[in-house]
Amino acid sequence: MPERLSSKPTFTPSEALEFSVTHFGLSGQIRALPSERDQNFKISDSSSKEWVLKISNSDTPLESIQLQEDITRHLNLRFNNDTFPACPTGSTETFPHAKNEKTGRSHPCRIVPYREGTTWASYPPINSQHLEQLGVLLGKMTQELQGFEHPGAHRHLQWDLLNAATVVREGVDSITSSEERSLIMTSLKYYEKEAKEKHQACRRSIIHGDAN
């Protein structure tokens, strides 16, 4: 099941800090960070170290969260630098859960190191050198993830191209133009007849599919 926006955590900074102190022994100055479906809070402790308290969407499977943790540790060892700082939280079996008394939902929480920097979206202007640097980093990540397996990676995603036929069929009726629907279905039938079997035979591996 995809992470619904309606299941996003809605804790205040003061509630998040109280939870951080109780479960991680981490206190300090706190401010909210952007997040579409989860909640992130930056915490600066008394020793000037900076952390992120991540409060996950209640729909997110624990194995998906563990996948993020394990991939970060894997890449940290492979890159041998601070590009992917190791996460200190541990296993999802020990992740504390923040319960929202208003909604009744329970949200897994973890602490990860904060990386200072400028986000891609807010770094104008993006030039060809930046694009090349991002491409090189993604290429290295993909290379280092070859052979990496994890149960959390085997889940249904509408962005997985192998699910394209299913996603198109489920959504095609939302297109009001009969001409456009016909064009899409014709293309889909061609894909299923000529390309789907070849597509499924292609090599596959875990990648970072949303790096921007």
Say whether pLDDT at 90 is over 60: no
Residue of 118 and 128 predicted with greater confidence: 128
CA Rg, the chain, in Å?
21
* Structure tokens belonging to residue 42: 């930056």
Say whether pLDDT at 201 is over 70: yes
- Provide the pLDDT confidence category of residue 93 given band limits of 50, 70 and 90: low
- Residue 89, C-beta contacts closer than 8 angstroms, at least 6 positions apart: 69, 95, 110, 111, 112
* Structure tokens belonging to residue 132: 């090349």
Tell which residue, 5, 8, 11, has the closest CA to residue 100: 11
- The pLDDT of residue 26 is 93
Lowest mean pLDDT among 49-53, 146-150, 157-161: 157-161
Say whether pLDDT at 2 is over 80: no
Residue of 126 and 208 predicted with greater confidence: 126
Please state the φ and ψ torsions of residue 106, each to the nearest 5 degrees. -110, 130
Task: Give the whole-angstrom CA distance, residue 74 versus residue 81.
Answer: 12
